Amino acid sequence: MSRFRAMWQASLNVTKRAIRWNLEDLIPPAERNIFSFNSKEELKRWHLYSDSEYGGLSSASLEIKDVENGLKGIFSGNLSLELSENSKWNISRGGFCGMRSKKFNGFIDLDGYDVISLKLRGDGRCYISTIYTENWVNSPGQEEDNSWQAFVHVPKGNWYIAKIPLARYLPTWRGNVIDSNLEMNPARVVGMSLSVNAEGGVPGATSGPGDFRVELDWIKALRAEY
C-alpha cells in the first residue's frame, strides 16, 4: 500500500508541475519589447511619410545618434501648413509628418497586454501613436490595415515614459474616428507608427507650424499590473 501511495504521490507531483508550467506559458512576461532605437539597423524597420507626398511642404527625418552615452532614435523635421503651387492633390492644407514601421513578418500577438509604453524626450508637442492591425473592420473603400490611434503628449526637456492603455486607442480612417465602440484585435498587430500634426492635440501642448523633434529609446507592451 505504501508503495502504491508513493507512486500515486509522484504522479501527482508531476501533474502539478505540468499544470504550473502550462499556466506560466499562458501568462506572458510583464513586458515585451517591440522596438529598441539603439542601432542604425533599426532605421531599416521604418519609413517616413509627410504631406509632401500630396503637395505639402512639411519634411521629416529619422536618425540614430549617440545621446547621453547611448544610441537613440531622433524623429525631427518641420511642419508647414503651406502647399506647393503646382500640387495636383485636392487638399486644403498640410502640416503632418510620421514614421511608420514596415510590416512585421506576419504579425505580433499582444493579446496578453494592456498598455503600450514609449520612452521618449520631446518638445512639448502632442504626437499620435498608431497601432495597425489586420483588417477586420469593414469601412467603405477601406482595404488597408485597420488603424487605432491615441494621443501622447511629450513634455519638453526630460525623458518621459508614456503609458497608453490599449483601450484608449480609437479606430480611425484617414485620421477620423469611425466608431468609438469598435474593439481592437491585439492578437493581430502588423505595425505601428508615430506621427505629429501642426494642429490639434491635447490642451496645453505646443502646436502650430514649425520645427518638431522627439527622441526615442524604446516601445514596449506592458501588462496592466506592471
Per residue in 115-124, pLDDT (tens digit) is 999 999 999 9
Range with lowest mean pLDDT among 3-17, 46-60, 66-80, 95-109 = 3-17
In a domain, 189, yes or no: yes
Q: Would you say residue 4 lies in a domain?
A: no
Bridge partners, 119 (sequence order): 161, 218
Overall domain count for the chain: 1
Tell me what pLDDT residue 206 has. Answer: 93
What local confidence, expressed as pLDDT, does residue 183 receive? 85
Grid cell for residue 148: 487605432
Q: Which domain holds residue 75?
A: 31-222
Mean pLDDT of all residues in 197-202: 88
Domain assignment present for 13? no
Give the pLDDT band of residue 136 (cuts 50, 70, 90). low
Q: Would you call 127 helix, strand, or coil by DSSP?
A: strand
Q: Is residue 184 part of a domain?
A: yes
Q: Write out the three cell numbers for 92.
A: 486644403
Asked if 180 and 104 touch (Cβ cutoff 8 Å), the reply is no
Alpha carbon distance 93, 57 (integer Å): 10
Q: Which residue has the higher pLDDT, 82 or 189?
A: 189
% of the chain with per-residue pLDDT over 90: 57
CATH of the domain at 203: 2.60.120.430
Mean pLDDT of 166-181: 84
What pTM did the predictor assign?
0.82
C-alpha cell at 117: 509604453
Residue-by-residue DSSP string for 69-88: SSEEEEEEEEE---B-TT--
- 205 inside domain: yes
pLDDT band for position 215 (cuts 50, 70, 90) = very high
Res 138: pLDDT: 55
> What is the rounded average pLDDT for all residues in the chain?
84
Category of 48 on φ-ψ map: left (φ > 0), alpha (ψ -120 to 50) or beta: beta
Residues 29-44: what's their mean pLDDT? 92
Q: Is residue 104 part of a domain?
A: yes
180: left (phi over 0), alpha (psi -120 to 50) or beta: alpha
The answer to whether residue 21 is domain-embedded is no
| In-domain check, residue 171 | yes
d(CA 60, CA 97): 6
